[in-house]
Every structure is written in structure tokens, then in C-alpha cells.
């Protein structure tokens, strides 16, 4: 097997490449990137449920991972990029991870998230109001990006004037996964992070004395209670903004593309979007997930399927392969919006299961439903699509449509 994960055929169609690995070498050592690739569903689930064997603190434990990051901010900031990335809860292990996650857990319960549905519906329909008469749009830039910016900014409590920073941040974070192909983009990370931190710092200070009904106030309260440091408040605010932005864009783009490439499924969905939205959104997440892989560090020598992952080595668990494992899913390469059950792991598994999974599902349901109700004649306006050369994300570069 060739090991260049940035090869054009792998970027465009990761399912054929990772599917071959899953069948022929499910615990594969990628010598080019010095990392293990885990591709079978059961193995990935097992790995995610043994955090004592596989650390999430990649930027603190793996010099190679940290080398992809610029080392310092400009002189106007005291935090290094590595410090910001290391302070996020997804890059911490127990017990620190548990304590940090507990601060915001109540904000993302199904009951709490459901209260945001009217706000999300309002944002979705306002954007489609602007586009509907034009007869065409580029879904990512005209709809998905502004939708997620507006939703996440309202949830976090970011002032309207600062919302333009979010997309720049998202692009900078994405560039970490593709830094070998676009090293110039990596150099933008310090400036973009500094700009966002410059906006967040005074807002966090204000929330500590005058809490509001937003996520930044919840995090600031966590600092007051001693559960978070100031650095962790800022780093996790950045995480929640960027993660909620980038991955939902990919869910909407990849999901609509799957619908449009399967017109019979789109026809079924447009007949009863309210009925099928929950199941259809789950199938979009399984069939072409927003995130392709995550990284862990082996904490000791771990045997698996006749191989040994040595202490300190990087381990990538590949969602794109696990979600199409025929040992878990019937006809896994078929897009079926009525698939049930659908135990995909697009949001991970175990203690690091995505905190914002319920919100992402809600946004996907409302976006797909609105497109089906208002634009049932939606069609793909290109013969080919392209993808960002990313190890972590499954991200289209554009999705032009017409109706």
C-alpha cells in the first residue's frame, strides 16, 4: 500500500484506499508519517474506550505533531500556539479532561440544545431567503459558512463585529492537517489566533463580573470556581468556535452532495423531510463524515491483530473506514436515508465523544429540511468536486448548486 495520504486519489476518495487497508492490513504502519492507521470498526471503538492506553495529549507528548505548529505568537502575546492547542479539553487526558468537560456539559445536553432550534431555524431560513430568488448558490460560502458563524457566535456570545474572524480561524486550523502541502497557510495561524484571543479576552473579563446567557459566561464561571485556568478558558472557547464551525460546514456540504448524487434518496426525502430528517442526518454523518480521523499517542506497548504499537508512537483511528465496515453495516457503501440502526462513530466514542454532537445533528436536520422544503429541484451545478488535502477533515472546496 502506498503511504502518501495527501495523494490526490486518496484525498478525493479515501473510502477505496482506507477500505483496502481495512481488509488487507487493518493495523497498518504508515512509514511515511510514522503513525499507525486503525481502520476496522471494532478496533476503533475499542481504542477510543481505552484512554489509559491511548493519550489525547498529542501536542504535549508527540514532538512530531508539535513541529507542525508555529512556535510562538508575535511579541504582543504571551501564549505560544502549542500552549493554546494543548490547553483544549480534547487534547487532555483524565482527570483534567473530565473536569474541563464537566464545566460546559450542561450547555450541550439534548434538552439544552433543543432550546436553540428556533434560533437555528431562523438563521437557516434567513440565508435561504437571500439566495432563493437567484436560482443558484455555492453552498459552502453562501450558506454553510455564514450559518455556522451566526449560530456559534450567538451560542458563545461573540459580538457581531467579531464574527468575521471565525472563518479565518477555521481555515487556519484546517491548515494544520494539510501543512505539508500548504506551509504558507501554517504561518497565518499565530496572527489569526491572536486576533481572536484579543477579542475574547476582554469579553471573558466582562463575563466574570457580569455573566450573560452564553457559553463564554459558563467558561468564565468555570475559571471563577477553579475548574479552568484563564488559558484554558480562552483555548476552549477557540475550540468550541472552530469545531462547531468547520465540522458543521462539512456535514452540510458532504450531506447535500450525497443527496444530489443519489436522486432517488433525495426524492424520498423531499416528500417528507420532517419525517426523515433525523435518520437522514445520521446517514449523512456515516456515509461521508465531516472528520476522517483522529490522533492518539500510545502510552505503552499495545498489541493488536499481531502488531505492536510501541509506547510514544502516534495512532490514527480512521472514522472514514470504520463507518463503512461491512462487519458492522449492511451494504455500507450504499447511501440509505432510512438506515436503522445506524451506530456510526462520526462523533467518536468513549469519553471523548464529541461534546457538540447534539448541536451538529440539530443544525444538519434543520439545514437539510429547509433545502428539501424550499428547493426540492436542487441539482449539482458541476461535473466534478474537489476536496481539501487534509488528514483530519473531509472537506469540499466548493459545492455549486442550482434549482
Q: What is the pLDDT of residue 300?
A: 96
Per-residue pLDDT band at 69 (split at 50, 70, 90): very low
The terminus-to-terminus CA distance of the chain in angstroms comes to 42
Residues 86-106: tens digit of each pLDDT: 656 666 677 776 777 788 888
Which segment of 29-33, 77-81, 212-216, 265-269 scores lowest on mean pLDDT? 77-81
327-344 burial, b for 16+ CB within 10 Å, e for fewer?
ebbeebeebbbebeebeb
pLDDT in tens, 264-283: 999 999 999 999 999 999 99
In whole angstroms, give the CA distance from residue 70 to residue 111.
40
Q: Which pTM value belongs to this model?
A: 0.89
pLDDT at 112: 94
C-alpha cell read off for 175: 491548515
pLDDT, tens only, 110-133? 999 999 999 999 999 999 999 999
Q: What angle do CA 226, 227, 233 make, to 5 degrees?
A: 100
Domain-wise residue ranges, the chain: 8-402
Residues 87/92/94/99 CA torsion (nearest 10 deg) = 40
- Which residues sit opposite 396 in a β-bridge? 387
Read off the DSSP letter of residue 291. B
* Residue 376 DSSP SS3: coil
Judged against a pLDDT cut of 60, whether residue 397 lies above it is answered with yes
**Secondary structure class of 296 (helix, strand, coil):** strand
How confident is residue 136, by pLDDT bands cut at 50, 70 and 90?
Answer: very high
Pick the CATH number of 8-402 from 2.60.40.10, 1.10.630.10, 1.10.3720.10, 3.40.50.150: 1.10.630.10
pLDDT of residue 198: 78
Q: How far apart are CA 95 and CA 92, in angstroms?
A: 8
Contact yes or no for 299/55 (Cβ under 8 A): yes
At residue 87, the pLDDT reads 58
Share of the chain above pLDDT 70, in %: 83
pLDDT at 166 over 70: no
What's the pLDDT score for residue 275? 96
Question: Which pLDDT does position 74 carry in this prediction?
Answer: 39
> Distance between CA 378 and CA 135 in Å, rounded?
9
Identify the pLDDT of residue 168.
63
Alpha-carbon span 43 to 318, nearest angstrom: 10
pLDDT tens-digit profile of 328-344?
A: 999 999 999 999 999 99
Helix (H) or strand (E) holding 125: helix 117-132
Amino acid at each position: 500500500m502506498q503511504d502518501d495520504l495527501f495523494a490526490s486519489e486518496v484525498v478525493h476518495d479515501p473510502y477505496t484506499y482506507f477500505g483496502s487497508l481495512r481488509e488487507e492490513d487493518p493495523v497498518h504502519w504508515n512509514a511515511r508519517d510514522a503513525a499507525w492507521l486503525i481502520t476496522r470498526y471494532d478496533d476503533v471503538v475499542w481504542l477510543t474506550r481505552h484512554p489509559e492506553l491511548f493519550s489525547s495529549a498529542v501536542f504535549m507528548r508527540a514532538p512530531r505533531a508539535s513541529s507542525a505548529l508555529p512556535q510562538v505568537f508575535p511579541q504582543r502575546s504571551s501564549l505560544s500556539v502549542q500552549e493554546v492547542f494543548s490547553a483544549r479539553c480534547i487534547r487532555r487526558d483524565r482527570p483534567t479532561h473530565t473536569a474541563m468537560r464537566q464545566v460546559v456539559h450542561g450547555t450541550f445536553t439534548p434538552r439544552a440544545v433543543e432550546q436553540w432550534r428556533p434560533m437555528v431555524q431562523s438563521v437557516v431560513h434567513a440565508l435561504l431567503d437571500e439566495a432563493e430568488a437567484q436560482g443558484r448558490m455555492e453552498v459552502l460560502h453562501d450558506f454553510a459558512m455564514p450559518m455556522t458563524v451566526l449560530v456559534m457566535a450567538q451560542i458563545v456570545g461573540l459580538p457581531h463585529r467579531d464574527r468575521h474572524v471565525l472563518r479565518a480561524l477555521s481555515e487556519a486550523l484546517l491548515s494544520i492537517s494539510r501543512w505539508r502541502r500548504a506551509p504558507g497557510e501554517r504561518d497565518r495561524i499565530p496572527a489569526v489566533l491572536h486576533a481572536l484571543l484579543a477579542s475574547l479576552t476582554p469579553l471573558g473579563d466582562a463575563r466574570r463580573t457580569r455573566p450573560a446567557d452564553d457559553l463564554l459566561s459558563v467558561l468564565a464561571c468555570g475559571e471563577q470556581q477553579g475548574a479552568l485556568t484563564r488559558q484554558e478558558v480562552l483555548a476552549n472557547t477557540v475550540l468550541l468556535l472552530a469545531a462547531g464551525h468547520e465540522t458543521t460546514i462539512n456535514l452540510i456540504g458532504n450531506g447535500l452532495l450525497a443527496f444530489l448524487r443519489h436522486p432517488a434518496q433525495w426524492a424520498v426525502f423531499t416528500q417528507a423531510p420532517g419525517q426523515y430528517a433525523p435518520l437522514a442526518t445520521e446517514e449523512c454523518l456515516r456515509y461521508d463524515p465531516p472528520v476522517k480521523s483522529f490522533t492518539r499517542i500510545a502510552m505503552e506497548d499495545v498489541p493488536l491483530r499481531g502488531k505492536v504499537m510501541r509506547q510514544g508512537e502516534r495512532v490514527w483511528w480512521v472514522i472514514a473506514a470504520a463507518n463503512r465496515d461491512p462487519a458492522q453495516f449492511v451494504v455500507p457503501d450504499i447511501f440509505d436515508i432510512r438506515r436503522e440502526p445506524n451506530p456510526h462513530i462520526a462523533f467518536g466514542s468513549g469519553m471523548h465523544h464529541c461534546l457538540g454532537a447534539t448541536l451538529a445533528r440539530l443544525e444538519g436536520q434543520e439545514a437539510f429540511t429547509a433545502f428539501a422544503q424550499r428547493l426540492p429541484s436542487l441539482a449539482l451545478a458541476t461535473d466534478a468536486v474537489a476536496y481539501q488535502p487534509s488528514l483530519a477533515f473531509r472537506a469540499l472546496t466548493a459545492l455549486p448548486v442550482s434549482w
